[in-house]
Structure 1
Amino acid sequence: MPETHGERSHGSHAAAATEAGSVRRPPALAPHVRRHLGHTLRAFYPADPAEPVGERIEALLIRLGKIG
């Protein structure tokens, strides 16, 4: 029987439970990968969005010290 989206046990946000009950998290991205992603996202998205950001995004930006 094919897997459905809800049955998948892998992916970037999934955490697999081990037999001991602990949670195994996916490995963190390497620094050079994070830098590349940051540069790519900054080039793709404008620094000052034309539309206001949502409340959740605004709260995250404030926590990161980017606005406010």
Structure 2
Amino acid sequence: MPKLKYITSSSGIMGGKPVISGTRIPISRILFLMKEGYTPELIQAQYPHVPLSTIEAAINEAISMFEQRLHVQ
């Protein structure tokens, strides 16, 4: 799996949970909001300091992580 650009994890940030790079926003929070019907634009309105393009790229990286690691039988 290639190195991620928009998602990072560090033991000193949010207890090591994957977050949007340069923020303390957990990817799990972004995915939860999407499950609740939020669009990337609505998510960005919740976090105006994060560019929409960064939120969209982080979502795409999260999807790629699942596609590459999840094998349903």
| TM-score normalised by structure 1 residue count | 0.28
Higher relative contact order (CA 8 A, sep 6+): 2
| TM-score normalised by structure 2 residue count | 0.26
Structure whose residues are more often helix by fraction = 2
